[in-house]
Structure formats: structure tokens, C-alpha cells
Structure 1
Amino acid sequence: MAEKGGLGTGMNMTEEEKYYWEAFNLFDKDGSGSICKDEFGKATRALGFNPTDQQIADLLKQYDTNNTDRLEFVEFKTLIKELYKKNPNDKNAIRNAFKVLDRDQSGYIEAKELKEVLQKCGQSLSDDEISEMIAVADSNKDGKINYNEFTEYMCRPIK
């Protein structure tokens, strides 16, 4: 049985692919294995980019290889890789992504905020799963992510 978005069952993903897969799944609200134009716009903005509606439409048209007006995971991954190549370590994109997650503008991303953002995106994760996500970037182990930790995590080389 194939998984949604064109990934085969048991396929080993790189860290980079896992990152894109998580972003993709956050916005594939109906579980169809593809995301529509609106979902794609939200996904790119959550990843720190700030495209206009016209740019979203143009990108969708360019990368939708099977002409469904939707992006499957493989198409999404290819497109996001290209965006990152064109804008490596874009500080504005990273700052915008941080602001989306730092809902109370405290300068930190806490578990509660991350959980709220993910729930608004249609993802219900357990407290343990949220804690694991925070722990990945929380280099000083204070239970929350500050802007420097977030930037360091987002700009790390992906293998």
C-alpha cells in the first residue's frame, strides 16, 4: 500500500525529507496526499516564505507536473528545495516563521504555542510529541525555543 503523496511504505527519508514531510502533512488537512493552492500558500508561509497570491498560483502551475491543481508530496518537496536554494538562510523568512509560532510575541516558542499553531493547521499532537519537537531545537534545554535557537535550527545543514 502506498502512502499519501507518493511515498512508498517503509521508505527511508533523509532529515531534510522528514522536515518537508512534516510541513506537507500539517497542511494536507483532508489527508488526500495532496495540497491545494490555499494549503500550499499557508505551508510556504509557515516555512518562512512570503509569496503573493499570484506567486503561489505561478509556483503551483510550474510544479504541478500532473496538472491536478494540487501538489503531491514529491512536487511540494521539489518546489520547497528550489525556494530554499534561491533564498538560503533568508533572515526575513526565518523571522516571519518565528513570529508565526511565537503567538504571544514573548520572544520564545513554548509548547503551548506550538500546539495551538499545529491544531489550527489541523494537527493534533500529544504533549509528548510537542515536547519532542521543542527538544530538537532547544539547545539550552530550558523547555522553550528562543529566536537564536530557532535560527540556528533553521539554518543548520540538512543531510
Structure 2
Amino acid sequence: MLRIVLLPSALLLAASAGAAQDLKIAVIDPNRIVEESPQYEEARQTLSTEVAEREADLLDQQEAVDRLEEKLERDGALMSEEEVKRLQNDIRARKRRLRYAKAEFQEDFALRQSELRTKLVKQVEEVVQQIAKEQDIDLIMSEGVVYFSERIDISADVVERLTEEFRSR
């Protein structure tokens, strides 16, 4: 989510200048923030609803192709050569359209997922910056942190603010 680059030399310089006493550091757990935020749940449900309709349509198309293949297998010997060719062409055309529809669906799904993720990341970044300013935090770190005490973890504050913003819409 939020990535703030920590430059060890800058911290050493600040510490050597005596500024480390005034430095206020916090961490956030981006996974916790995402999992606990109502915005994430809303985005997940939105995506699920959007996907369900298209998945059902693709399933219907696949079932139609399956029925035609069964018909060809079952009745092919009784059909004229022209009817068999027409049915085979229809099956091929439907399979091709279905392949394209599935590929398009996957592309659209990935794009929509990315859009929703980007929107959530932006919201989280804004809230983190607001909290940093309000609490006079100089540095907020995320991901890649080996250890941090609960005392400097502001993830709960971020989730709480996201929840407030979500409810006030």
C-alpha cells in the first residue's frame, strides 16, 4: 500500500545531529488496514456483483455449446452431411466467441480490480498523511519492517478514520 522509503544514512545523520530525540516514528500494517477497512469490503462486494452477471452469461454460453456438441454426437449419424457441417460450423463459431468473451472478461476483471485497488490505496494514503500531520509524526514506515511495538502502530487509527469517512458518505 503506502511505501515510504527509509534512508538509513538520513536517520544516522539526524541521530548524530541530536535531532533523533524530536523524531516521531510510526508504522502501519497495510494488510490489516485493507482487511479491516469498510472500503475494502465494499469494493470486494462491488466487484463480486459485477463479476457474477458476466460469469453467469459465460456459463450459459458454455452450456449452449455443450448441448450442441451432445446433439452432434447423438444425432450426427442421422443428419445429412450439410446439417452436420452447419452444426460443426455453429459450434466452432460459438466456441471462438466464447474464448474471446472469456479473455475479455479476464481483462475487464483485472482492470476493474486494479481501479478499485488504486482508489483504496489513494484513500489510505490520504488518511495516513492526515494522521501524520495531526499527530506530528515525522516518519511512517510500512512493509519490510522486521519489528515494531504496538506503541508506534497507527494502523488502528487509519482503519478508524477510513471507517468514519465511509460512514459519512
With the shorter chain as reference, the TM-score category is: under 0.3
TM-score under structure 1 length normalisation: 0.21
Q: Could you say which structure has the higher helix fraction?
A: 2
TM-score under structure 2 length normalisation: 0.20
